[in-house]
Structures are given as structure tokens and as C-alpha cells.
Amino acid sequence: MSDTEALVASLRATFRSGRTKPLAWRRAQLTALRALFTDNREAIADALHADLRKPRPEAYGAEVDLPVREIDHTLAHLEEWLAPEPLGAHALAGLPEGTTAGTHYEPLGTVLVIAPWNYPVQLSLVPVAGALASGNTVLLKPSELAPATSALMARLVPEYLDRDAVAVVEGGVPETTELLAQRFDHIFYTGNGTVGRIVMRAAAEHLTPVTLELGGKSPVFVDRDADIDTVATRLAESKFRNAGQTCVAPDYVLTDPATAQRLAAALAEATERMFGSDPQTSAAYGRLVNQRHFDRVAALLDSGTLAFGGTTDRDDVYIAPTVLTGVKAEDPVMQEEIFGPVLPIVEVADLDEAIAFINDRDKPLALYGFTGNATTRARLVAETSSGGIGFGLPMAHLRVPDLPFGGVGESGLGSYHGPHSIATFSHRRARLDVPLS
């Protein structure tokens, strides 16, 4: 038996012992996980800066404070979410008097969480929190592309969490491949569609259910009635955070030609307010994760017309916040998820053309709209499909723990956060009790 097989068998034995099922154990693990974040706030920020040059305010907000809020919300509502749900007597017609029925959640068993590099703490430990809240044992595989954060997770997790129930395996493709050869009761993967298909094929060998948190090109529709200065500020803040390396970042803008011109100018002003005239020297601006990703994103700059930005420095894995105008559907920047600090503006005649453009492509992880028109908002909801949809502030739906977060089609399978994590990492079991007399 290999070390990996032995580790998975050990986690499975812990689950079978029953120790992870009591509410008290689940709450204790969540409380300990919360302390991991609060006790190590600076160490987490240091690791994220080493891996991504992530600014400390971004690190605190997205990688410490957001997970702590998620844990607090779960602790406050966990007993309520886990409560059995009885079936009304009206549904039991034809069965003997005194029959009762209902559903309850039971944990799945041993869960594998494969985390990405772009938010390597949040996207490692928020799924872990959901799996533990559901009463499972967990094996976490952090991303090797964020080595400082991976090493920190490997050190901290066994210090704070039940070592018999939670384990961390570091490494790259060989280690992940070996993990995927094992039988788990659920696999939770965050990353790209190419690897997502590999995960799903491996899971199929054991009929293991999967959650795939993927990505895609999340569009933004900007209506001509929108306040352009507000739109520009909110777009710049969401697009250029983490140097654009966010799965739900605005990927491209759809708007009419006149609005496109005004928006490009306003985005230039908003970006300078955020990062100054030279973002490369700004402590508020991050970097691409490595030179391979730098080369991929830099190759997309030869699309449309450069409105501003475009400066690159490969040695510093730096690409300036960039806006491109006059972009066409066939341009390179429109052929893949950008996952970097480049925002194309695509001109459309009207809402009809914008909806058709969106629907001609894979279903995105998120869709955003800036409009004061209720009919326009209603049409975007009714006539498109995406993992989530938000108006007025991109990426804000992530902060609402009772909203499910996940994709559809090419952008993912399944969802989590809040009560939706319990549903993901549990089996909803039916129960029927019929009297013997």
C-alpha cells in the first residue's frame, strides 16, 4: 500500500469510527479553523505576497476576513441547516395511520479538495469548512503554483484541526494524479475546464460525485443610461484586483459605441486613482503568478486598439491594467478566459445584440449588468444563463453566504457557500416510519 493509499484509508477509518458526525465535533473544527485564520493573519498575508505579490488589504479581505465571515455564518446556522425536515401528513395519504416521513442530511465520508493558486487560502479552506461542517473527513491538495501558501497550509492545518480527520498533501501533477486514483466520496475541484475534465474522468472510475468550480468569460453589459464614473470605478476595482486573476472577474464589456468611448476614458481615470500613474510601483497592485501565465496574457494584447495600459515586464511578471477598445469577436483576447489585467470593450448596437453575443458562447460563471432599467435587468435574467448574475457591483455575490456559488455548463458543476455547502458535502437521506400495528 502506497503512502497515499494509507493516508486515504486512515481518513476513511476515522470517518467510519463516527467521531466526525456529532454536531459538537463539527463546531469544534469550525471554531479551530476560524482561529487558524485569526491567529495567522500576518503569516497568511506574507505567503500570499510571496506567491502573488498580493497587496495586504486584498489578502486580509479576500483570504482572511471573507472565510471568517463564512465560518461565523455557518456556526450561527449549522444546527438549523442540519435539522431533519419532516414531510407533511398530507403527503402520506394511503399509508397506515401514524406514519411519519422526512429527510435528513448525512455526511458523505472522505472528501478530496483540490485548490487553485489565485486565492489559495480562501479557495482551499472555505470548501474544507463546508466539508467539516457536514461531518466529513477531508484531504486537501493545495496548488503547487502557490508554494509559500501551500507550505503554510501544510504546517497550519495539522496544528489546528483534527489530524486524524484532516490531512494536507503537497505536490504537483504526479501527486494529484495519484490522489485521483483513490476512491473518495466526493471531489471538490476549483480550477480550469481542462483539468476539470481530468478530475471528472478519474471520479467516474469510482462513481464519485464531483463539484467543479471552473471559470469562463464573464461578460458585463453597460447600458447607455448608467452613470459612467460609477461604472468605471466599480469595474476597475473588480477587474484589476489580484491582477485580474479572479474566476468571476469581469472578462469583457458589451456596450454601444458612444458609451464605449466614454467608458474607456473613465476607466483610465479610475485606474490612475487606484494605482497612480505607474501601477508597477504601486503597493496596491499585484503580479501574474508566473512567467508562463504572463506569456499567455501578454499574447492577448494584440487585439483591438489599446486605450491605456499595455506595459509589460516579463522579469517582474507585470502587466499594467489595460483596456482595449474596438475588439472583435474573432480577436485572440475573446477566444479564452483572460485571467489577467486586460479588459476588452466590445461594441454592440443594443441589448438584443448583447444578449445574442452572450448566448452564442459558453455559459459564464458570472454575468454583470450596469443599468437603471428594470426591463433590461429582467431580460438579462430571463434570456441568458450563467452561474450567477449581479447588477451594479461585480463579484459582490461572493460575499453573500446564503447565495449558492457555482457555475453551469462549461463554467462548472455544483455550488457551495452557506447552506449550499451542507447540501454539496452531504447526502439528503429519505426516511419513512410505518407503525407495525
Percent of residues in the chain assigned helix, strand, coil, to nearest 5: 50, 20, 35
Q: How far apart are CA 144 and CA 206, in angstroms?
A: 26
Active-site residue identified among 58, 213, 337, 410:
213
Give the other-Cβ count within 10 Å of 18's Cβ.
10
Active-site residue identified among 58, 247, 337, 410:
247
Q: Where does residue 190 rank: exposed (0-12), middle (13-18), buried (19+ CB within 10 A)?
A: buried
Q: How far apart are CA 136 and CA 364, in angstroms?
A: 30
Q: How far apart are CA 168 and CA 125, in angstroms?
A: 11
- DSSP annotation string for 49-115: HHHH---HHHHHIIIIIHHHHHHHHHHHHHHHHHS-EEPPGGGGTTSPTT-EEEEEEEE-SEEEEE-
Q: What angle do CA 305, 311, 312 make, to 5 degrees?
A: 125
Does the CA dihedral 331-332-338-341 come out positive or negative?
Answer: negative
The three-state secondary structure class of 14 is: helix
Residue 213 appears among annotated catalytic residues: yes
- Say which residue the cell 447607455 belongs to: 224
- Give the closest residue to 237 by CA, choosing from 89, 15, 44, 55: 55
For residue 270, what is its C-alpha cell?
Answer: 479610475
Which of the residues are catalytic? 213, 247
